[in-house]
């Protein structure tokens, strides 16, 4: 799974690599456009997949944090009742 910093560097590397490939490619314009289109599609798919994984992980962490907060509130309330009574 990528974190946001690594994902940014990955995308930057992909763009730089695609640019160099375009400059050095001995193919026709049509072939080059096709390769660009395929590379862009692959990049979108990778970003989409990574985004979905990060959203799922974020949701899991949120749920876990919420449960910890609820447990802490319960413990606090139990402790308060013991002290009062």
The greatest distance separating any two alpha carbons of the chain, rounded to the nearest whole angstrom, comes to 85
> Following DSSP, what letter does each residue of the chain receive, concatenated?
---HHHHHHHHHHHHHHHHHHHHH--S-HHHHHHHHHHHHHHHHHHHHHHHHHHHHHHHHHHHHHHHHHHHHHHHHHHHHHHHH-
The reported pTM is 0.46
pLDDT surpassing 70 at residue 12 = yes
> How do residues 39-80 score in pLDDT, each as one tens digit?
888 888 888 888 888 888 899 999 999 999 999 999 999 988
Where residue 7 falls among pLDDT bands split at 50, 70, 90? confident
pLDDT at 34: 84
Q: Say what angle helices 4-24 and 29-84 make with each other, to 10 degrees.
A: 180
């Amino acid at each position: 799974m990528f974190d946001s910093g690594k994902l940014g560097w990955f995308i930057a590397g992909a763009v730089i690599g695609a640019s160099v490939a375009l400059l050095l490619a001995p193919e026709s314009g049509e072939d080059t456009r096709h390769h660009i289109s395929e590379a862009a599609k692959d990049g979108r798919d990778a970003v989409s997949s990574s985004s979905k994984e990060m959203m799922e992980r974020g949701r899991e962490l949120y749920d876990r944090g919420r449960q910890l907060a609820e447990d802490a509130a319960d413990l606090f309330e139990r402790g308060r009742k013991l002290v009062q009574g």
